[in-house]
Amino acid sequence: MLKKVLVANRGEIAVRIVRACQELGIKTVVAFSEADRDSLAVRLADEAVCIGPPPPARSYLSPPALISAAIITGCDGVHPGYGFLSENPYFAEMCTDCKLQFIGPTAETMRLMGDKVLGRQTMRAAGVPTVPGSEGELKSAEEALEIARQIGYPVLLKPSAGGGGRGMRVANDENELVRAFPMARAEAEAAFGRGDLLLEKYLVKVRHVEIQVLADSHGHAIHLGERDCSAQRRHQKILEEAPSPVVGPELRERMGRDALRGINSIGYVNAGTLEFLMDQAGNYYFIEMNTRIQVEHPVTEQVTGVDLVRWQLLIASGERLTLQQKEIRMARHAVECRINAEDPERDFLPAAGEVEFYLPPGGLGVRVDSHLYAGYTPPRNYDSLLAKIITFGESRDDALNRMRRALHECIITGIKTTIPFQLALIDDPTFRAAQHHTGYVAELLHKWKDERAAALV
Ligand code: MV4
């Protein structure tokens, strides 16, 4: 078993990792930047080491700072959390070379799935459905035109090195595609240092459904069903739920089997997530794989009862995954709201200030994952996630009604939060009827802002 883990992250996920380590008797060292000296994770950990100034490039994104902190404090493992270096193969390799167990898959696997062209090819070869489009990397605009002629417009150019929607471009016809190609290539080159692109049919009014997997280093893997993350705005998820209201037992089994074939074909080890787009007919298409623990993992934990971060630590320790697929049930329904320090009335502008008073919601069926406390001032250098409120109940309606109660109960003063918009979302008829798609939140936001403006006059 791992004895002492460096937490190479901050905020709520650093707290989540410290808690999981404590329950396993693993000592913790939290790496913190100068902006996070007063953070909750620093308080809860056994030890804490300052790794540099506030800018991420000089702290949470600095492998030498993190690795020296781990070595100096005698750690034998490193948990990267999400974001920052969590999907960086060089960092994983440096950890391994320094005899530190990286709590995640191998650098090789991260390289493979970090490349969307290779990820797509790998999954397709394993029999996982992918979106119609290019085989490999696009050689030229002519090749893009030829493929588009076969699959039909609209099409989407995606940077192979991208992910999370960065640098994607839609083309509705040949003219647009010819224009978009060099721009997408230059943009990808500038953003990621690599200009290679792939082309896919652009699917509209789709849902984002992702499958959670767990795989140990002895060749045993299971899936834990899906999450529905269709409630997003500009690639920022606002609310996630499990199970998906559009996935039944038969579809779940097919998607889960596909996901397992995919990860078994690459010898995947760790928790992981396969992202799919799903159309209104229930067809699903793999788009990318995340090789880290995700922000929204708690909804899966609440419906399956499986502690995903604990299993990450056990698997990295070389333990066997003792859960069998047939034991995994998605009982009940869970919903998560990401509470961000952002003003939904002003286009989700990041909000600043000291949290004067904080009262998290509680009671039956409510979980709060947060690093917040009264008197805390969230640093401006990092993302604005303040808390994740997770509610669960027998049905989707139960979980959503409980979320309404929890959001009303939650008090955060001194700083604007996304709560007012999330209250509107959970009572929106289209969302309640689960008829939303990945573009719906943007539509609802317009309506909501207009209504608020009208209410003021
Ligand atoms: C797509 C797509 C439509 N068609 N691919 C955005 C994030 C990245 N993971 C992939 N994304 C998309 N890929 C094809 N072929 C639409 C999106 C997309 C999206 C996907 C999931 C959740 C929200 C989204 C919002 C806009 C676009």
For the CA of 288, the nearest atom of ligand 1: 9
Locate the domains of the chain by residue range: 4-103, 132-201, 207-455
Give the tens place of pLDDT for each residue, 183-199. 999 999 999 999 999 99
What band does 207 get if pLDDT is binned at 50, 70 and 90? very high
Pocket of ligand 1 (CB under 6 A): 131, 156, 164-165, 200-203, 206, 208, 232, 235, 275, 277, 287-288, 438
pLDDT value, residue 445: 97
Is the per-residue pLDDT at 40 higher than 80?
yes
* pLDDT for res 54: 98
> What's the pLDDT tens digit per position in 403-414?
999 999 999 999
Pairing state of beta strands 4-7 and 27-33?
parallel
pTM exceeds 0.85, yes or no: yes
Q: pLDDT tier at 457 (50, 70, 90 boundaries)? A: confident
Q: Is 292 marked active-site? A: yes
Choose the catalytic residue: 207, 227, 233, 292: 292
Q: Write the residue with the smallest CA distance to atom 9 of ligand 1.
A: 164
Q: How far apart are CA 2 and CA 78, in angstroms?
A: 10
The answer to whether residue 102 scores a pLDDT higher than 80 is yes
Compute the average pLDDT of residues 409-437.
Answer: 98
The listed CATH number (3.40.50.10300, 3.30.1490.20, 3.90.930.12, 3.40.50.20) that belongs to domain 132-201: 3.30.1490.20
Nearest-CA residue for ligand 1 atom 5 is: 202
CA dihedral for 63, 67, 70, 72, sign (positive or negative): negative
Q: Looking at residue 314, what is its pLDDT?
A: 98
> pLDDT-derived band of residue 270, with 50, 70 and 90 as boundaries?
very high
Q: What are the b/e assignments for 350-374, b being 16+ CB within 10 Å?
A: ebeeebeebebbeeebbbbbbbbee
pLDDT value of residue 238:
98
Residue-level pLDDT at 164: 74
Q: Which CATH number fits domain 207-455: 3.40.50.720, 3.40.50.1000, 1.10.10.10, 3.30.470.20?
A: 3.30.470.20
Q: What distance in angstroms lies between residue 165's CA and the mean position of ligand 1's atoms? A: 6
- Which backbone phi and psi does 140 adopt, to 5 degrees? -160, 170
Give the Å distance between the CA of 34 and the centre of ligand 1.
36
Q: What is the predicted pLDDT for the residue at 351?
A: 96
Pocket test for ligand 1, best of 277, 286, 290 (most atoms within 8 A of CB): 277
Question: Is 364 a residue whose pLDDT tops 80?
Answer: yes
**In 152-282, where does DSSP find H-type helix?**
174-192, 249-264
Domain 4-103 class in CATH: alpha beta
| Mean pLDDT across 242-247 | 98
Please list the residues that pair with 207 across neighbouring strands: 278
pLDDT at position 112 is 98
Res. 298 pLDDT band, cuts 50 70 90: very high
Nearest CA to ligand 1 atom 16: 203
Give nearest CA residue, ligand 1 atom 23: 438
Is the pLDDT confidence value at 273 over 90? yes
Q: Which of 116, 204, 206 to mutate to test the pocket of ligand 1 (most atoms within 8 A of CB)?
A: 206
- Give the per-residue pLDDT at 179: 97
> Mean pLDDT across the chain, nearest whole number?
97
The pLDDT of residue 166 is: 83
Nearest-CA residue for ligand 1 atom 10 is 165
State which ligand 1 atom lies nearest to the alpha carbon of 200.
15
Mean pLDDT calculated for residue range 125-129: 98
| pLDDT surpasses 90 at 163 | no
Query: What is the predicted pLDDT for the residue at 116?
Result: 96
* Cα(378)–Cα(352) distance, integer angstroms: 7
What pLDDT, on the 0 to 100 scale, is given for residue 324?
Answer: 98
Q: Residue 126: pLDDT band by 50, 70, 90 thresholds?
A: very high
CA dist list (Å): 127 to 4, 97, 367 = 40, 34, 37
Measured from the CA of 204, which atom of ligand 1 is nearest? 3
- 97, exposed or middle or buried, with CB in 10 Å at 0-12, 13-18, 19+? exposed
- CA–centroid distance, 203 to ligand 1, in Å, is 8
What's the mean pLDDT in 66-92? 98
Phi, psi (deg, nearest 5) at residue 89: -65, -30
